[in-house]
Structure 1
Amino acid sequence: MADSSLPQLLASAASSSSTFDAFAWLEAALAPPSSTSLSRSLAPQLALRSQALAHTLQTALQHVTHSVPALQTRLEALETTAAPLAARLTAAQHVCDTSLSSTRHSDARRLLVTLHETKRRLESCSRALVEAAQWTRSVRDCFAVLEDPTLLSLEGDGESTADAETLGDRVRQLRASLDVLQDLPGVRERQKTMERLAAQIEAAVLPRVASKLRQDEAGDVTRLRWCLEALGSIDRAHVMKEEFCLARPARVHRTWYQYEEQAKQIAGLDVADDGNNNRHVDFARWLDGFYEHVLQMLQRESRNARDLFGGDELVIRVLLTLLRNTLEPLTASFRDRLGQTEPASSESFCLDRLVRCFHTTRRFAGQFVQLVRSLENELGVKLTDGDSTAVDAEGGILRVVFEPYQLYFTEYTRFSSDFLTDALMRLVPPFNTTSNEVLGSDEDRDATAATSFEDFSQRLEEASEAVWTIVDRSVQQCYEFTGGVAFPEAVEAIGTAVQQFTLALGAKMPAIRNYYKVEPVFQVDESKERLAASPDWSQFHASLALLKACGTLETQLCAMDGRLRVRMREQLAQLSSEHVDALSPRSTCGNVCNASSIALAELLYPTKLVLAVSTMWLRDEDPTRQSQFHQFVADMVSHPTWSGSTAACYPTATVLDEAQRAMRSWTKEAQLLTYDTIFLPIARVLDTIPTNESWNKAPNSAQDELEFPTFSMLPQDYITTVADLLLSLLPQLEPFAGSNSLENAFVASRGAQEVCVQGEWDRLGQVLHLAPPELLNCQQIFGSGGTTAASDPVPTAAKFVDLWSATVASSTLAALLRTVCSIPCLSEIGAKQLAADLGYFYNVLSAVGGEDNFIVDDLRRALEMDLQTHIHHVTELRADHDGLEKRALVKLNDCIIAMRQRALAPPRGPSAGSTSTPSRVY
């Protein structure tokens, strides 16, 4: 061998190819070497290769030694078997050859076909006979198993036999035989036999299964698997699953109803106990423990289900069915328990208890979702990909677990308003009226009244913070319960509750007015009327304190409203997966309510879980409620920052606007009380004007008339008394306006002029038949001060004093004009006296903000004229049809002229001069 071939030889020796030829390689290696070095290098490798080859040959020879006899035997058997077949093929070939050579053998071919068909039918009959025999044996064996009760024992005390263990297989063989024998006679009898066997299997197995599954501990499930196999053989395995899901929650149900019985016993033993809230906390705490039992049961039964039904997605289906069968029977009882009130408790509904229980249920739902996800991981299945076997998180979990709470979501407005109303009613301060009958003297009653009323006002002001704390807490509870989806209903409930709160406060007002003797003049019994020369200033100060308390309530309401708006916007922003788009609020609403499914992983977050539940409930509501929520979200989003009058003297609520309107209605009553405390004494004095004898005074003779003095008359006592009351109001208001209560009192005084004076001006309009524009023009004499104050963001003491002094002065002017128009007749001396009274009153009105009082100025000048000049003056006024001032003055002067003409007319009877309706006599 050449030296150059040594590397190829070595490479081929190291080859691992299966086609390696050892003998060829050996011949090549033993060829005469060209040198001694080649022999030395090949010797070790040849030794190793020869050893491996020897070992391989030995192993192959041993295998051949063992397998050749068996192979020879099989070949002989095949030869023996193939010999008849070869003979038949030779015969068939001979027949075919002869048929090709001659057409006389066609009958033989038909005979061959007939023989083949006969053979096929004989084989079919043979198989049918075998299946019939097997059917008979299987039927006998199956009925024998069913007739032996020990073979169906589930307690393990019976001995298992092959017949019992293979019952399911035998039934399946029967079903296969039934299909084979369906074309043979007796098919109906066999079908009935099969039905009877299935009924007996079900009747024998199901009672034992039910008894076993209703035990507290299922124990070994081996025999249950045998029952499942037996029921599965007759297509009744689903009955086993249904019975399993129905029976296993029984222990949990007993635990639930035992608590119900204990709660009834506790309520019966101690109905007078005032610790109702503690029992509510105990129920929420007990509910937490109850859910722990439910979760433990579900975990335990999920393991039993895996052992019994196998480790696939069916286990999760069984788990969801178990959850439904556990909680659905308790829904009605659960709902009643949430809304249950104690026998001795006056509260209608406890929102705190509902929210605490909801938190407990929410934790349980999260734990159950985690259990389902762990089973998915353990079983290697994924049931949330949207396929036909996907777990419906909404219908399978959320709707089942949270079903007891849906009623409270649907009627959240009613339940929340009842709870808030009950809580706010406890904050209505009492007003003691019993001492009015006990105390004898008027001084003692007045002192007690002021003290009692001041206490009422102080308690109301102190309760203001508690009122809005309760309201704010209710909004937070709404978010915890519904994730903000019921915010519109919560706001509506707050408005309803605050309205009931203000109505309860208003119900105290008649007693306060009766205590104060502050009824309107036309409502006061003349036998009980006490005319006062001046108001009781202590009562006036007490009414100002009430006004300040009303302002405190409204101010704190508006401050809380601003905080709620910011918080609601932030919380509603969490309803969407992305930030709220202020330019597209409707898209945010779509993100909130249009999602009909949610992944199980999302339910592990408490906030998303609550939102999923609430949106699920919202989709069940009518379109009107859904639209209300959409509109509420749009309003929140479209006004990210509210630039309302928070810095103005009159703040405005935007979210709780209904609550503010309710507060304003109560504040108006407080304004009227404060106003009546000052004005009613003035009105009582003015009501004496029509009966004043000075209006009818006439000269004793014509000579006296000619000698009538021309010097000015002095004002009468009634007008000086009224002027003193108006002027004394200013020093009473100034100390209160200079205190730290000014801001709240100013808020409560909003619209006081319109509220308080409207009644008096309307009465004047009825007397003079003034049109609304004419009446409004007269009222605007004192209207400029209120407008300026409302537009100024900073309340001052001077503005507060001007507001109330102008209000009382405006009503006094209207009452004075009305009573003047009620004078029966007016002589010339009376006219001069009335002109002097009005001139004095004109100066007083100028001191209290009525500088532009054109009405009094015109009347006092007209009364100084003689009758004909007065008539001419009215004619000139009537010539100006466009001026509202002139038209009002015309009607007022017509009434005065009629009085003066009646004084000159001769008396016509007892009723002469009794009319007070203006008429044109000239």
Structure 2
Amino acid sequence: MSLPTAEALDSLEEYEDLTAWINDTLTAAEGDQSVESLTELDQQITQLIASLDIACEDTSSQLERTIDDVSRGIPRLTYDLHFIKDSAVSLQSSLATVHARSQAVIPDTTASALEQLKRLDTMKEHMEAAREVLREAESWSTLELEVTSLLAERNYAKAASRLSEANKSMVVFQNTPEYDPRRTLLVNLQNQLEASLSSALVAAINEQNLETCRGYFFIFSNIQREVEFRNYYYGSRRAALTSMWHEAELSDIAPEGNKSTGETFDEFLPKFYASMLALLNQERSSIPAIFPDPAHSLSAFISSILAALQPTFSQRLASISSHYGDLALKELISVFRVTEEFAIGVAKLMDKIQYSAVSSTSLDTEMPPTTINPGHTRKRSMRMSISLRSSVTRSTSGGQKLQLLADGLDWDQELFHPFLEFQADYGSLERRFLDHTLREIVSNETRQKESDQARVFRERAIDIFGAAEESLARYTAFTHGYGSVALLQALDGFLKSFIDMWTADVSFASSLPQSTLQDAASEDLSGLDYTSQDWLNIQTMLHLLSSARSVYERMTSFEVKLRSNLAQTANKFRLYREDPASFPITNSKGAAQILEQSSLNSADLHSLLDRADVDPSQSRENYLRHSGHSSNTGEPLLTDARSAMSDFAKACQVSLQGTILSPLRQHLASYASSSIWTTTAQESRNATFNDLQVPTFSLSPSDIIQRVTEGLLNLPRLFEVYADDDALSFSLQTLPYADPELLKGALEASVPDAPTHSRRHSISKAATLDPETVSTAWLSSLGQSLLVHLTTEVLPRITTLNAGGAAQLASDLGYLSNVIRVINVESEELELWKEYVELNDDVGKAKIGARSDDEDRVLNYVARMRGWQSTLS
């Protein structure tokens, strides 16, 4: 049975979660018996709903009554306030009247006596103040003698107290001629006290006599020399450590001309940090017993050690960079990691000193609050301290004086600040390292035969992308993600350089002279007289295109890894912004602050991370279009490398086309210088044709054009040999003079509609095109290339063209135009040549005279050949 309704409603006030109250109410029963059936549970819910409805109605009624009461009381409240105000004004008037009457009641003699007492009290206060001033003046007359006597007696604490009192009285002489002489005297006496204490202080510090050191700290604080005491203490405690640093003989930081055989800086630094951490652990017990602000003092001690190092940490890092050259990044990362491990150890020590129980309470009770102000740098005395002048003053690389008393716990910022210069230059360091790796890969690989170049290309690509993947760990270790933009630029340039080397090799090989000895394999291909070298070149270029496909797929896979890595960096940055304490960028707060405030934390960085933190799917066809701007997601990262891959594929295609078309171009080599353009018999015959208006297509094509057209018609048979080779389908968009509409339809047909997630898993697989479509694209490209060669290189070299030659040329071009359509190739410029060559002299001259400009290049060529306008060039 459920709890009574009133008790259940009363218990509602004890719950913050309504769900918990409902569950407890429904399951509560007398004798702790649970609900045995759904029917009983339904009855309880019904009863509870009814109880809640009644309670809601009661609460609503009470609320309405309360609102009514308040509404009626508000006008009365205004009246009450007005009444109180009037009463207060009346009371004020009454008090003024009473005061006036009370003054009138006092007799004149009494008033005079009271005024005299007031004047006497004022005189007493002034006389007491004057007496204090005179006492201070008298004390200053004996100050030097007293302090000197106390110093002779070695009563340093009393001397410090006397000087502290004198310092407080300096305000009396402010803006008077006595101020400067007394100030000079005070500083001199303070110097004497410090000089008397210096040797004893250094001895106490070396002996780690904490009680004596604490007493000396109290004395130095009394004479406003707390900073000087810290200088003595820090300088003495760090002496062994700074000597270890200065005297280290390092093989990779040896002076110029000195070949040191010592250990490397990477080997020395862990030992130095271990010694420094051991010293700090000692100071974790010593500093709290002396200083009132142990954490602040320990931080200042670490900063003083780093600032006192000679040569400085920055100078040694610069020496490392200079010594290792292109490989400096690897050494810098190693040193950076060791420094991070040291920072983690110091951070733990700082946590211990901050949360440990120290005996600072006794210090606070013994020393006046005004002498010690943790976290505040006291104004320095007019004189340069003996300690600062003798042993502590050292110049940093920037030439600024060392300030030992830091304003905050900024030891880790000073520790990591020397690395900032190299972190900001990470992109250059990474690129130099990658370029060195590229040179090693190239130099270590023996040059193979031409037939093995495709295999060498694939094998080198494995090493190249392996080196690229290693850079992902380097940029994370050295910049914690802030170097993402620099990493991307370095990788893009590195991969581009590798591919450009091969592109240059292909272009150079294409420019070499070819053999002219026909191979027996060419007998079945009429008009295509390939040599053995031609067949070898065709095979080599096909293998290189196949390797290019493999390298592209590897590049695409690497880009997925790169995008995933950048996405992880973006997520890390996002979590850091939301909760820096729980999701730190680095294990050191100071290192994170330095990177966050550096030039690496740019708008370009966050833009890149935003682009990377999206769906990374990118089909191969998006690469082939390779702008990547048509989609909002999956935008390419390695744009220059992709462009270089397109250039390499194009170079292979151009070389392959050059070899395929080489027999046809050889046929056309003597076409422009043929005698058929100026023979007398042919001219007479053509003159007759012109008179009779005989169509020029009745002439037979020349032998050269017949051989060229036979070769064009045999090109499809050549591609039947390589129908199963998918290398031809790679990067069709870079084919010279490729038909954009044909490529667009082919690429769309090759990419099936599939969910994004399924494409993501097959991103490295290139699309498979129909062999017939590939052959069509190649034949179209070859035909266009040959026609461009004919219309731009061959025909313009014809010097003279008489009427007979024009008729023959028109016949050749018409025949070629008909044949070229068989392989789906059309050329507007070829048709223009045919049209203009067919014109007779009168029509041609009239067309020349009627033209408005001379930008018709084909007409200019034909006019020069036919002599229609002698001034044309």
TM norm structure 1: 0.60
Question: Which of these residues, 431, 454, 459, is aligned with residue 462 of structure 1?
Answer: 459
Aligned residue pair count: 672
Structure 1 counterpart of 2:274, one-letter code:
E
Q: CA separation in 2, counterparts of 1:220 and 1:145? A: 23
Change (3 A) 1:717 1:322: farther
Correspondence 1:868-907 to 2 at 5 A: 871=843, 899=865
CA contact (8 A) 1:335 1:405 kept: yes
Indicate yes or no: 2:820 matched with 1:823.
no
Q: CA separation in 1, counterparts of 2:349 and 2:303? A: 15
Structure 1 counterpart of 2:786, one-letter code:
T
Structure 1 counterpart of 2:416, one-letter code:
F
CA contact (8 A) 1:485 1:614 kept: no
3-state SS, counterpart of residue 602 of structure 2: helix
Residue of structure 1 equivalent to 2:334: 356
Structure 1 counterpart of 2:450, one-letter code:
F
Please say which structure displays the higher CA radius of gyration: 1
Residue of structure 1 equivalent to 2:426: 412
CA contact (8 A) 1:131 1:177 kept: no
Residue of structure 2 equivalent to 1:689: 671
Q: CA separation in 2, counterparts of 1:721 and 1:225? A: 108
Q: CA separation in 1, counterparts of 2:862 and 2:254? A: 83
Question: Which of these residues, 548, 551, 558, is aligned with residue 550 of structure 1?
Answer: 548
Correspondence 1:443-454 to 2 at 5 A: 452-454=449-451
In the TM superposition, what whole-angstrom CA distance separates every residue of 1:738-796 from its partner, at most 9, and x where no partner exists? 24xx26x6444432224xxxxxxxxxxxxxxxxxxxxxxxxx8x554334334343334
3-state SS, counterpart of residue 738 of structure 1: coil
CA contact (8 A) 2:300 2:409 kept: no
In the TM superposition, what whole-angstrom CA distance separates every residue of 1:875-905 from its partner, at most 9, and x where no partner exists? 9xx99x9xxxxx99x9757865875x55xx9
Correspondence 1:837-856 to 2 at 5 A: 837-838=812-813, 840-842=815-817, 844-850=819-825, 852=826
Q: CA separation in 1, counterparts of 2:863 and 2:214? A: 114
Residue of structure 1 equivalent to 2:704: 718
Residue of structure 2 equivalent to 1:172: 161
CA contact (8 A) 2:454 2:540 kept: yes
Residue of structure 2 equivalent to 1:290: 272
Cα deviation, residue 493, structure 1:
2.3
Cα deviation, residue 812, structure 1:
0.8
CA contact (8 A) 1:252 1:294 kept: yes
Change (3 A) 1:610 1:839: farther
Residue of structure 2 equivalent to 1:402: 416
Change (3 A) 1:379 1:859: same
Structure 1 counterpart of 2:425, one-letter code:
E
Indicate yes or no: 2:469 matched with 1:472.
yes
Q: CA separation in 2, counterparts of 1:515 and 1:122? A: 112
Structure 1 counterpart of 2:679, one-letter code:
K
Residue of structure 1 equivalent to 2:233: 244
Indicate yes or no: 2:646 matched with 1:664.
yes
Structure 1 counterpart of 2:724, one-letter code:
G
CA contact (8 A) 2:438 2:498 kept: yes
Change (3 A) 1:749 1:342: same
Indicate yes or no: 2:791 matched with 1:811.
no
3-state SS, counterpart of residue 208 of structure 2: coil
Residue of structure 1 equivalent to 2:18: none
Q: CA separation in 2, counterparts of 1:615 and 1:180? A: 45
Structure 1 counterpart of 2:606, one-letter code:
H
Correspondence 1:87-486 to 2 at 5 A: 143-144=148-149, 146-147=151-152, 164=154, 166-173=155-162, 175-176=164-165, 195-210=187-202, 213=205, 218-264=207-253, 283-309=265-291, 312=292, 314-330=293-309, 333-338=312-317, 340=319, 347-379=325-357, 396-428=410-442, 452-486=449-483
Change (3 A) 1:173 1:649: closer
Change (3 A) 1:334 1:540: farther
Change (3 A) 1:414 1:802: same
Change (3 A) 1:133 1:330: closer
Change (3 A) 1:212 1:715: farther
Cα deviation, residue 123, structure 1:
15
Indicate yes or no: 2:721 matched with 1:791.
no
3-state SS, counterpart of residue 243 of structure 1: helix
Residue of structure 1 equivalent to 2:104: none
Query: Structure 2: which 5+ residue stretches go unaligned?
Result: 1-108, 362-373, 378-404, 516-527, 627-634, 751-767
Cα deviation, residue 167, structure 1:
2.5
In the TM superposition, what whole-angstrom CA distance separates every residue of 1:589-610 from its partner, at most 9, and x where no partner exists? xx38xx9xx66xx6xx774436
Correspondence 1:608-627 to 2 at 5 A: 608-609=586-587, 613-614=591-592, 616-621=594-599, 626-627=602-603
Query: Structure 1: which 5+ residue stretches go unaligned?
Result: 1-102, 148-162, 274-278, 434-450, 519-530, 579-590, 755-779, 882-886, 906-911, 918-922
Q: Which moved more, 1:456-465 or 1:784-793?
A: 784-793
Cα deviation, residue 319, structure 1:
0.6
Cα deviation, residue 629, structure 1:
2.3
Q: CA separation in 1, counterparts of 2:570 and 2:129? A: 80
Residue of structure 1 equivalent to 2:398: none
Correspondence 1:903-914 to 2 at 5 A: none
Question: Which of these residues, 827, 834, 842, is aligned with residue 809 of structure 2?
Answer: 834
Cα deviation, residue 686, structure 1:
2.0
Residue of structure 2 equivalent to 1:654: 636
Change (3 A) 1:196 1:843: closer
Q: CA separation in 2, counterparts of 1:722 and 1:179? A: 112
Cα deviation, residue 402, structure 1:
0.9
Task: Give percent identity, aligned residues only.
Answer: 17
Q: CA separation in 2, counterparts of 1:198 and 1:662? A: 75
CA contact (8 A) 1:267 1:342 kept: no
Structure 2 counterpart of 1:816, one-letter code:
L
CA contact (8 A) 2:424 2:598 kept: no
Structure 2 counterpart of 1:315, one-letter code:
P
Change (3 A) 1:747 1:697: same
Structure 1 counterpart of 2:745, one-letter code:
T
Cα deviation, residue 407, structure 1:
0.7
In the TM superposition, what whole-angstrom CA distance separates every residue of 1:662-685 from its partner, at most 9, and x where no partner exists? 443444444433333344554343
TM norm structure 2: 0.63
Change (3 A) 1:182 1:474: closer
The alignment yields a C-alpha RMSD, in angstroms, of 5.5
In the TM superposition, what whole-angstrom CA distance separates every residue of 1:531-561 from its partner, at most 9, and x where no partner exists? 9976722123223333333333333222322
Structure 1 counterpart of 2:217, one-letter code:
L
Structure 2 counterpart of 1:321, one-letter code:
A
Q: CA separation in 1, counterparts of 2:129 and 2:699? A: 149
Residue of structure 2 equivalent to 1:801: 775
Change (3 A) 1:191 1:364: closer
Question: Which of these residues, 706, 730, 733, is aligned with residue 750 of structure 1?
Answer: 733
Cα deviation, residue 356, structure 1:
2.6
Q: CA separation in 2, counterparts of 1:168 and 1:678? A: 103
In the TM superposition, what whole-angstrom CA distance separates every residue of 1:219-258 from its partner, at most 9, and x where no partner exists? 3334433433432332223311122223322322222333
Q: CA separation in 2, counterparts of 1:548 and 1:493? A: 27
CA contact (8 A) 2:586 2:592 kept: no
Residue of structure 1 equivalent to 2:657: 675
Q: CA separation in 2, counterparts of 1:895 and 1:458? A: 48
Q: CA separation in 1, counterparts of 2:498 and 2:136? A: 92
3-state SS, counterpart of residue 753 of structure 1: coil
Change (3 A) 1:398 1:308: closer
